[in-house]
Amino acid sequence: FLTELQGQLDEKRVMLDVDEDARLWLVEKGYDIHMGARPMERIIQEHIKKPLAELVLFGDLAQSGGTALVRLNNAEDKLEVTVEEKVAELEES
């Protein structure tokens, strides 16, 4: 599912970086013993694609792409999608 999403993001020049904790959370939440991995698509839609769409359409990824970071917020037991700061922006600060 994540490979398919990356394919969709390639044309927008967006790289998806999902860390290990986030991947483990996806496995835990997206797998059901009776349904298999079918819930995974809904989990990815709700927790990654929706916030990512906002960033791609209206946020920091709208103009020139970049890297979207998907990290687990352990305190809130949810995924967070943020944009990695670009090196040029870091050097200007």
The predicted model gives 87-91 an average pLDDT of 53
Domains and CATH numbers, the chain: 2-92 (1.10.8.60)
Q: What percent of the chain has pLDDT over 70?
A: 92
What was the pLDDT predicted at 92?
A: 55
Per-residue confidence (pLDDT) for residue 91, from 0 to 100: 53
CA atoms within 13 A on the CB side of 75: 0
Would you say 1 and 43 are in contact if contact means Cβ atoms under 8 Å apart?
Answer: no
Cα separations in angstroms, 28 against 12, 23, 34, 40, 45 = 29, 9, 14, 10, 16
Query: Which pLDDT value is given to residue 68?
Result: 97
Closest CA to 61 of 87, 43, 41, 81: 81
pTM of the predicted structure, to 2 decimals: 0.85
35-56 burial, b at 16+ Cβ within 10 Å, e below that, comes to eeeeebeebbeebbbebbeebb
Nearest alpha carbon to residue 45 among 17, 79, 83: 79
| C-alpha–C-alpha distance, residues 15 and 64, integer Å | 12
